[in-house]
Structure 1
Amino acid sequence: MNGVGAHESAELSAVEVRAKAENLEGIATSGSEGLVSSQRLAAVPILRPGEALEMVPGLIVTQHAGDGKANQYFLRGFNLDHGTDFATTVGGVPVNMPTHAHGQGYTDLNFLIPELIERIRFRKGPYFAEEGDFSSAGAAHIDYFRRMDLSLAQVTLGKNGYGRSLLAGSPEWGGGNLLYGLELFHNDGPWEAPENFRKFNGVLRYSQGTRNDGFSLTGMAYRGKWTSTDQVAQRAIDSGLVGRFGTLDPTAGGETSRYSLSGEWAKRRANAQTKANVWWLQSSLDLWSNFQYCLNDYANSGTCDTGDQFKQRERRQAGGFAVSHAMFDRWGAFEVENSIGLQGRADQLNPVGLYATSARQTIGTVREDKVTQLSLSLWAQNQTRWTEWFRSIQGLRADAFDFEVDSSLTANSGKASDQMVTPKLSLIFGPWRKTELYLNYGHGFHSNDARGTTIKIDPADGTTPVPRVKPLVRTKGYEVGVRSEPVAGWQSTFSLWQLDVASELLFVGDAGTTEASRPSRRHGVEWTNFYSVADWLAVDADLAWSHARFRERDPAAGDHIPGAVATTANIGLTLDHLGPWFGALRLRYFGPRPLVEDNSVRSGSSALTNLRAGYKIDKRTQVTLDVYNLFDRKVNDIEYWYDSQLRGEAAPTYDRHIHPTEPRTLRLSISHRF
């Protein structure tokens, strides 16, 4: 399959490698962490790069606008928006962007090249001392290969102007390996206003040794431009004003770029392991959106000459580091591992702004800021094996944040700081008959947008007082998990979890202000299974249910959390070693969600089926057909409930606003290894 690394036998099928990679007995800290191998990803049809994260059990990845924009994520009863409360790194570089022009924790994975992914290590819950900001619901660490067995040339073509080419390899050079990847991409999509999404993407990595004893230097570069078909009011579709794949503002869209350099170093000794990572990032975004059409324009001028389009813009420089040292020892009869780590990050935004626009032309500034955000974190952890069947992991993390905002509105300028100490505890019992039991407890946090920590007045009118928010929001989680192999080849994990969030405060980039909500509690169940039935067949099923409510009751408003999904499922069949044939069939279920706090309006559910069928022409050349939305279901990627005003309407109307799932889509790929 695509992307096999040198450390794994080319004779192993996707079925066998996944079974091997996800057997974390004796290593895992909780029942809800695991590994996704390159072979697992190579077997799965992926519509958008960010959907690689759907291999994290229970995580749903959608889109509500143009594909050049960050995806929207759902996990454990969270509408994670574009990444808040789920931390993601690629090649050691954080992807989540704090104090982002569009949304806190913005996680744009359009620069990801799935064929180069060696593994995804995921964790869920605030139980891990080395995980910090944005990781309360979970974290995923994505790493690219250090070495590929063979170079890869691949071309993919599809309907609606879809074209993608990829060239990748890792020749030996200077005693190490030089991994390269170059991707060119274009897609119009099914939209009435062609998306014209153009992407240039490149990766260059030099490495020697291994992940635990060696080093790597990685550079990544990405640029994208697109026209966006955002969510559309349902009444506009029902009345025939626009089609299901139409738009009410054909000038919405965006331009973005991301450039990064990073270095990773690790040294393994007999009784110690040291790791260090340093990174630098430069990114930009210009994003034009129009969600309410004429509402504000009518209110301000009585006409709809310009509409409600707005632009969010940022220019960012960021850098950071992480260093850790683990010592393996014995305290009397007990095996121990003591670890300590230091992490730091600095973000400078100049500017980060919100502007009123019409057809992408700026007509006014709502607010424009210069922001400097600094963080420093220290963590320590002890793991003790008390008996052959019992070990404990106890950790402590301390975080300090500083914010400085220089705003176009002097009253909203200022400085803020906050600190937080978060304890962690895990108790692991077993293994007994290939079964382990996990008890987890931990505190975590997420940072708020720096602008919300210094704000005093509403930038829309320059006078209305606006309350400031706390820079850091505490979370607290509990979990009981089981990991077992009931029969040979069947790996199963089961988790009961609960997560409390002190406040769901959010900086609203569309308005330039903060939006406060009440403390919340979420709890749920996750059941993850993988069964290697035979050398040629594997079955997997990831099932999740959650319950999300505000903890402070408000009979007038209700206690449901808008966007909190209760039920998800991801079920698949993977086939390999059938002569020249291979394939996969996947079903993803995305359950209904409340759209308002009193639960009077709910989204629909969706069940989508994707198919992959492939044929190996010879040992190095194969053809693959991917079919997305196999049964052409007319469902929605996302639904919202809010007020908007169409041209010609006398008053605003609350309505369902939807972004449809793409119709049945076929893509044909041919790849050759050399």
Structure 2
Amino acid sequence: MPPVNVTAQRARQERRVAPQTVPAPTSAPEATEDANQAPVASASEKNVSGEEVNARPFSRPAEALEVVPGLIITQHSGDGKANQYFLRGFNLDHGTDLAINVDGMPVNMRTHGHGQGYADLNFLIPELIGSVNIRKGPYFADEGDFSSVGAVHIGLIDTIQKSMALVTVGSFGYRRALGITSAKVGDGNLLVAGEANTYSGPWDTPDNLRKLNAVVRYTEGTAANGFSLTGMAYSNHWNSTDQIPLRAIASGQVGLYGALDPTDGGRSDRFSVSGRWAQTDKDGSSKVNFYAIKSSLDLYNNFTFFLDNPDQGDQFHQRDDRVLAGVNASHTFNTMVAGLPMQTEIGFQSRYDDIKVALSNTYQRQFLSGTRNDKVKEGSVGLFIQNTVHWTNWMRTTLGYRGDFYNTNVNSLLTPANSGNANASIGSPKFSLVVGPFAKTEFFFNAGEGFHSNDARGVTIKESPSDGSPVDASPFLVKTRGAEVGVRTRIIPGLDSSLSLFVLDSASEILFVGDAGDTEPSRPSRRYGFEWSNHYKPVSWLQIDGDLAMTHARFRGDNSAQAAAYAELAGYPAVQIGNAPGNYIPGAPNMIASAGIRLGEKTGWFGALRYRYFGPRPLTEDGAFRSPGTGLLNGQVGYRFDNGWRIQLDAYNLTDSKSDQITYAYGSLLKTDALFAQCHPVQVAPPAVCQTGVMDRVLHPVEPFAVRLTVAGQF
């Protein structure tokens, strides 16, 4: 994405006494009360079953996580790339400050070629989701890097009752085939799944997406007493239609679904092995999980068109190739102190990344020149302790502390001056208070500190890779502070309702911009707001949910550097607009809302209707550019037969909205712009003007009305 300033207890142990077994995904969604009623430590914490996740109509794997109240997941280019995430007034880019884990494996990639915290969920097969644990805020001692705004832990199923096969065909060349089977092997269960997916999309330049997924999983025992071993393989390649300036659409230079650089696209591969072991008795519990991941990404984008290279364009290639591994272990002691029940958990978390990361200029995917080429070794160790005391049967407190240590070695192959070693440590206290239940109502207070790491290349940088000028280095670890007060009630039968008020401060920082290979400053920021979440099931065949999140987000302090830059653009209003200093945070949504209704039993007719609203956002610090709000309505209808077969029709964008899927505002240059002739071939405009380009709203539209037909069967 274009440079936008963003700031950066795992899932609770399953309490079931059997493996995570679900009906084949052709069965009806089951009641979710068991998941929703698991003990939580904050009003915004939530547990969702895999059945509830898969009962919603969604068009991309990552959109399954829109079960998180207040979370918007969208895309600004091809469907093989990591999605964009928005939560609690944050434009989280591709994952910064939202920690995502699958089967104990971190999805967020640090020191990544496209952006810090890059979280690509395209390897996820939604039908394999067994549970989703949702946490928000820096209040949990067992949550580390990238978790300041939230953490999502996705658990996988261990087995299915019957083998299943699924075929989906849909608009714009959508094709998907999925098979899942499981069998008893020795004392455990072996689960095997495979997926193939193709998609062209509505774009003038087809995406030609080709995706393959495979999962093999062996489990014995339960999540509390047992172990699992899981292998995953994923490969994907695609073309992409990136965001385009509004002026190019208005002039007819390109259509709404057109591309200014039809050679953009990418390829991604991921292979992983993960395992877990757990043992529980009356005195406590122990948990260990490990993972090893090999991933690679080649990404070609052109966001500014002819701003930097008037002849061959501004396409660039981002390469990320890495191997990472980690081990997490914890033990919980159950004790009685002065007659008070107490649980004390101590834990150790480690991760090591061996990374090859590069940025180069390209023309139609052909190499022109290198900007950065680095070999990075980055390791971290985290230690935590948290103590929960049950003072009465209606009040408990949790006091925790976390310490993290990071070390990196950067070998800059093109600019040796930017090589170096760096290390940093940070401490994060945590506190939670839960009072209740009184009349099926609980009250919560949470406070704590968290952090996120910055790109290691920005930590050791000394000079700009483009012109050799001195550059300020980024802090390695950036602190956040937050607090939350909330209430959760089930006083009305069938209704689970929660309300939370929150505040989150992010420290001043300097961010490494992966798209440029350079750093840029960011000021301190504060966000505060509320979230209201409701889930209502009055009868077995009807479920209704509705969520509303409102946030006020602003930078704090003055931006003298931006004021000076604004002054240099005087006399060129098309360039100067949007570059004035201000306190708006670009891309920060002030309102996110969703509502849905689901009908159906285990057999017979079923249906669902979902609406989600992505509110307007300031796109520049001065608020001169704003995005429109975007509302999308999706639906689903189908029939489940007694023999386990199912036929289902999903419909997306039922109103055929032409609104923006995602919007930015920044400077770019087209050959049709009047400014182009003032900058090339002879520059008559000031250098700052030609370097900034024409400011404009830059958008990627929502995909038009589409349908997908699914036929699935059990065997």
Normalising by structure 1, we get a TM-score of 0.96
> Which position in structure 1 is the counterpart of 2:682?
none
Residue 20 of structure 1 and its aligned partner are, at CA, apart by 2.6
Distance in 1 (CA, whole Å) between partners of 2:20 and 2:330 is 27
Distance in 1 (CA, whole Å) between partners of 2:473 and 2:146 is 20
> Which position in structure 1 is the counterpart of 2:418?
412
Aligned AA (1:664): F
The answer to whether the Cα contact below 8 Å between 2:20 and 2:130 also exists between their aligned partners in 1 is no
> Which position in structure 1 is the counterpart of 2:662?
638
Aligned AA (1:222): Y
> Which position in structure 1 is the counterpart of 2:643?
619
> Which position in structure 1 is the counterpart of 2:496?
491
Distance in 1 (CA, whole Å) between partners of 2:27 and 2:484 is 33
> Which position in structure 1 is the counterpart of 2:714?
673
The alpha-carbon distance between structure 1 residues 458 and 120, as it changes in their structure 2 partners (threshold 3 A), is: same
> Which position in structure 2 is the counterpart of 1:21?
35
Matches for 1:53-452 after TM superposition, within 5 Å: 53-298=65-310, 304=311, 306-350=312-356, 352-407=357-412, 408-452=414-458
Choose 492-501 or 579-588, whichever is displaced more.
579-588
Residue 8 of structure 1 and its aligned partner are, at CA, apart by 6.4
Residue 431 of structure 1 and its aligned partner are, at CA, apart by 0.8
Distance in 1 (CA, whole Å) between partners of 2:618 and 2:453 is 25
Residue 577 of structure 1 and its aligned partner are, at CA, apart by 2.0
The answer to whether the Cα contact below 8 Å between 1:15 and 1:532 also exists between their aligned partners in 2 is no
Aligned AA (1:104): Q
> Which position in structure 1 is the counterpart of 2:8?
none
The alpha-carbon distance between structure 1 residues 11 and 71, as it changes in their structure 2 partners (threshold 3 A), is: closer
The answer to whether the Cα contact below 8 Å between 1:435 and 1:483 also exists between their aligned partners in 2 is yes
2:707 is the alignment partner of 1:660: no
Distance in 2 (CA, whole Å) between partners of 1:213 and 1:371 is 38
Aligned AA (1:23): Q
Distance in 1 (CA, whole Å) between partners of 2:559 and 2:20 is 58
Distance in 2 (CA, whole Å) between partners of 1:66 and 1:391 is 47
CA RMSD of aligned residues (A): 1.6
Aligned AA (1:347): D
The alpha-carbon distance between structure 1 residues 584 and 628, as it changes in their structure 2 partners (threshold 3 A), is: same
**Structure 1, gaps ≥5 residues long:** 299-303
The answer to whether the Cα contact below 8 Å between 2:632 and 2:653 also exists between their aligned partners in 1 is yes
Residue 553 of structure 1 and its aligned partner are, at CA, apart by 3.7
**Structure 2, gaps ≥5 residues long:** 1-17, 564-580, 676-692
Distance in 2 (CA, whole Å) between partners of 1:577 and 1:143 is 25
Matches for 1:460-609 after TM superposition, within 5 Å: 460-461=466-467, 463-554=468-559, 556=563, 557-577=581-601, 580-609=604-633
Residue 16 of structure 1 and its aligned partner are, at CA, apart by 5.2
The answer to whether the Cα contact below 8 Å between 1:329 and 1:337 also exists between their aligned partners in 2 is yes
Aligned AA (1:146): D
Count residues with an aligned counterpart.
661
The answer to whether the Cα contact below 8 Å between 1:15 and 1:537 also exists between their aligned partners in 2 is no
Aligned AA (2:49): S
Distance in 2 (CA, whole Å) between partners of 1:46 and 1:12 is 16
CA deviations on 1:511-564 (whole Å, 9 max, x unpaired) are 101121100000110000001021111110111000111121449511110000
Distance in 1 (CA, whole Å) between partners of 2:59 and 2:497 is 27
The answer to whether the Cα contact below 8 Å between 1:398 and 1:419 also exists between their aligned partners in 2 is yes
Distance in 1 (CA, whole Å) between partners of 2:184 and 2:660 is 47
The answer to whether the Cα contact below 8 Å between 1:5 and 1:149 also exists between their aligned partners in 2 is no
User: Would you identify which runs of 4 or more consecutive aligned residues in structure 1 move more than 4 Å?
Assistant: 4-16
The answer to whether the Cα contact below 8 Å between 2:110 and 2:453 also exists between their aligned partners in 1 is yes
Residue 420 of structure 1 and its aligned partner are, at CA, apart by 0.3
The alpha-carbon distance between structure 1 residues 376 and 614, as it changes in their structure 2 partners (threshold 3 A), is: same
> Which position in structure 1 is the counterpart of 2:573?
none
> Which position in structure 2 is the counterpart of 1:301?
none
The alpha-carbon distance between structure 1 residues 464 and 197, as it changes in their structure 2 partners (threshold 3 A), is: same
Distance in 2 (CA, whole Å) between partners of 1:541 and 1:504 is 36
Distance in 2 (CA, whole Å) between partners of 1:64 and 1:5 is 39
Distance in 1 (CA, whole Å) between partners of 2:24 and 2:539 is 18
The alpha-carbon distance between structure 1 residues 63 and 12, as it changes in their structure 2 partners (threshold 3 A), is: closer
CA deviations on 1:281-308 (whole Å, 9 max, x unpaired) are 000011000001111013xxxxx2x111
Other structure's SS at 1:482 match: strand
The answer to whether the Cα contact below 8 Å between 1:15 and 1:536 also exists between their aligned partners in 2 is no
Distance in 2 (CA, whole Å) between partners of 1:611 and 1:649 is 42
Other structure's SS at 1:218 match: strand
Residue 15 of structure 1 and its aligned partner are, at CA, apart by 6.6
Distance in 2 (CA, whole Å) between partners of 1:508 and 1:493 is 37
> Which position in structure 2 is the counterpart of 1:51?
63
The alpha-carbon distance between structure 1 residues 579 and 413, as it changes in their structure 2 partners (threshold 3 A), is: closer
Distance in 2 (CA, whole Å) between partners of 1:644 and 1:361 is 22
Distance in 1 (CA, whole Å) between partners of 2:321 and 2:389 is 46
Distance in 2 (CA, whole Å) between partners of 1:398 and 1:644 is 43
The answer to whether the Cα contact below 8 Å between 2:26 and 2:645 also exists between their aligned partners in 1 is no
Distance in 2 (CA, whole Å) between partners of 1:494 and 1:485 is 12
Distance in 1 (CA, whole Å) between partners of 2:363 and 2:154 is 39
Residue 388 of structure 1 and its aligned partner are, at CA, apart by 1.1
